[in-house]
Structure 1
């Protein structure tokens, strides 16, 4: 099983807009991907394709989450999802 940690970069945390961007990207992948707050047991991880699950994490700016996936392409998939989480989608251009 592949695993990555990511620090939430969006200034107001993993709320509706960044959560939607993240879940849409996760749903496009042919893998089961889970997300949990760092330090939580792997058994408590939630489905990364569910916007309700993502928002219920309550991940704030600077919080660390753990992504896990298994299967072909898991490492690359997790790397791409980490980039999404570590981008401030609330920053103004």
Structure 2
């Protein structure tokens, strides 16, 4: 058992999902750009077009891996619970913000 709370495990799960989805979107954009080049530009021969599509596929895979690693690396460095929605500066009891009169 790890010493993580449910909120920390949920934060890791959400971050993994975010990394995967944004990695897929970035890879799809790179692949579409590569295919657009192959389809729209008059390339000499079918082999040249296929080479551009293969290069776009490889580049899309690299972009996906780089995006996922970068998102998860940044999340690991700041730690779960340190994101934009993290509660900080709560001064009341039970984690509630203190209200000054």
TM-score, normalising length: structure 1:
0.32
Which of structures 1 and 2 has the bigger CA Rg? Answer: 2
More helix by share: 2
**Structure with a larger share of its residues in strand:** 1
